[in-house]
Structure 1
Amino acid sequence: MTLTHLAAASANFGRDLEQAYAQITHLVAEARTRDVKLLALPEATLGGYLSTLHTDGDGPDSLPPVIDLDGPELREVARIAGDMTVVLGFCEADGDTRFNSAAAVTGDGVIGVHRKVHQPLGENLYYEAGEVFQAFETPVGRLGMLICYDKAFPEAARALALDGAQIVTCISAWPSSRTAGAGDIAEDRWTRRFNVFDQARALENQVVWVAANQVGTFGSMRFVANAKIVGPGGDVLATTGTEAGLAVAGLDVEDALQTARRSMFHLRDRRPETYATEVPVHA
């Protein structure tokens, strides 16, 4: 049995890039002491997220800095990552267009990119939407990436699984509920949704699920943390709960997938010819 150690971070990142590099360095160093080969950091690691998602006010007080894929910022993360695969979020510049993006980075540079497809609560006012779900090869296996609200849509994770993803990282800046929040963030309804989505997406696709999230506050946002590793049977292998830190779990990815898929293999047993491709939406 060959164990691969995976880690997901609950961490707070804001606008200061130098502070972000220092925190990434610390988290990578901690992960390395635990033999981690894949580390998922939150959405908007470089430059922070929007300070609000309210659409009934003046909007964010500032926007994240734009970052080029071949720019110095991701080169610095690649230097820090070394032989580790690190997934992190940033505001990607494509000409004058902004995307809320995730990159998988090793010491060799950027090896994969995902642009967030599903946009909640006015995020489309500041970012363009991505249009692709695609898995790719990494040192830890075939990997798919999602960002935050993407995981609320079963089709997103399913597209990655059908493209051969063994591991899916979903990096988030997932907040607590604004309209019916709980004093104890562990009891918040959006915390429960965050956790249910993680387990459901892992189980229905029989993949290893690595979920990172922001923690603490930024602007008007209060994040739910709960970074975790979920096995292909939907079992939570490690979690940070509502605290900052790393959720770390070691598993033989190939063996875990084979065990989960031995009797009932959901991807094999699909009947796509019975699924309507266009279904009317009833409000």
Structure 2
Amino acid sequence: MRSVTLGALAAHFGRDVERGVAKAVGIVESAARDGVDLLVFPDASLGGYLGDLRQPDPAELPPALDPDGPELAAITAAAGDMTVCIGYTEAVGEQRFNTAVCVSGDGVLGTHRKVHQPAGESLAYAAGDQFGSFDTPVGRLGMLIDYDKTFPESARTLALDGARIIAALSAWPASVTDRAARLPADRQSRLFDLYDCARAAENQVFVVSSNQTGVMGSLRFLGQAKVVGPGGDILATTRSKGGMATVTADVDAEVDRARRVLSHLAELRPDTYRSTTPADQR
């Protein structure tokens, strides 16, 4: 067992892909100098997120990138010994996915395509259809993309697949229907923190949660990047500002300690639970 430094980034990334890549590479290099082992960027760091969540304009969608293209190659080259999770719009033939990729200097370690789509996101992206964990230099890890973490089954699937760290990449805005005058008072601000803490506590894992800041179109992003421990406690946070929340921890030791007496995964009773398919769809 060993200690690793986990970093969750809050930052603004816009439509300019070249500028986004340069900014991301600079952040990776700075984090490496600071000894960060896992760096989690926000969703849609390369090319930005939608400007309107309800009715996205087809003419203003984020540029779709080739997963084998030079943009991700630059992030991979910069990563070196670090594990880096970053979000972008992935081009797969005629389809577009809201995608997170996890890389190190050795190449791609894992990929996740956002499964759950809020409001009008399905007008801009195809949906992913699976959750899976994978091994990395910092331990077994799984990824979620913003709205995915609203659903407990998402994080639980990753934990049952062995993840001890969940990287939650977000472009999570303030409420689009009832925005508060101050971001900390916005109901989405409360929910964003609540989901991070609940998913960590339910599964007794670390959650490294990033988010966009600033404005894209009609959306104003919350920030609130954080690292949550396996007891559901926020160990470090940027609050609504940009920056990086970092925590150094022995992940395996902390997860094992959280599960020593009450082990939620071991004490599951799946034989007693109803199907998660809604009754009107069975």
Residue 196 (str. 1) matches residue 190 (str. 2): no
TM-score by length of 2: 0.96
Q: CA deviation at 1:280?
A: 2.0
Please name the residue that 2:211 is paired with: 213
Corresponding residue SS for 2:155: helix
Aligned equivalents of 1:189, 1:42: Cα separation in 2: 20
Q: CA deviation at 1:52?
A: 0.8
Aligned equivalents of 1:2, 1:134: Cα separation in 2: 24
Aligned equivalents of 1:9, 1:129: Cα separation in 2: 25
Aligned equivalents of 1:123, 1:263: Cα separation in 2: 42
Q: CA RMSD in A?
A: 1.4
Please name the residue that 1:280 is paired with: 279
Please name the residue that 1:30 is paired with: 30
Corresponding residue SS for 1:249: strand
Count of residues in Structure 1 that have an aligned counterpart in Structure 2? 280
Residue 129 (str. 1) matches residue 106 (str. 2): no
Aligned equivalents of 1:204, 1:196: Cα separation in 2: 12
- Residues 207, 227 of structure 2: 8 Å contact kept: yes
Corresponding residue SS for 2:198: helix
Q: Where do 1:56-135 residues align within 5 Å?
A: 59=57, 61-135=59-133
**Structure 1: unaligned runs, 5 residues or longer:** none
Please name the residue that 2:46 is paired with: 46
**Structure 2: unaligned runs, 5 residues or longer:** none
Corresponding residue SS for 1:28: helix
Aligned equivalents of 1:61, 1:234: Cα separation in 2: 41
Letter in 1 for 2:133: A
Cα deviation digits, residues 125-178 of structure 1 (max 9, x gap): 111100010000111100100000000000000000000001000100000012
Aligned equivalents of 1:105, 1:30: Cα separation in 2: 17
Aligned equivalents of 1:20, 1:163: Cα separation in 2: 32
**Residues 216 and 93 of structure 1, relative CA distance in 2, 3 Å threshold:** same
Corresponding residue SS for 1:224: coil
Corresponding residue SS for 2:180: coil
How many percent of aligned residue pairs carry the same amino acid?
Answer: 52
- Residues 54, 121 of structure 2: 8 Å contact kept: no
Please name the residue that 1:234 is paired with: 232
1:159 to 157, 160, 167: 157
Q: CA deviation at 1:60?
A: 5.7
Aligned equivalents of 1:275, 1:157: Cα separation in 2: 17
Q: CA deviation at 1:61?
A: 4.9
- Residues 224, 237 of structure 2: 8 Å contact kept: yes
- Residues 87, 104 of structure 1: 8 Å contact kept: yes
**Residues 190 and 111 of structure 1, relative CA distance in 2, 3 Å threshold:** same
Aligned equivalents of 1:231, 1:41: Cα separation in 2: 19
- Residues 25, 74 of structure 2: 8 Å contact kept: no
Aligned equivalents of 1:13, 1:243: Cα separation in 2: 14
Corresponding residue SS for 1:248: strand
- Residues 53, 60 of structure 1: 8 Å contact kept: no
Corresponding residue SS for 1:36: coil
Letter in 2 for 1:255: A
Cα deviation digits, residues 211-261 of structure 1 (max 9, x gap): 000001111110000000000000111000000000000000010001100
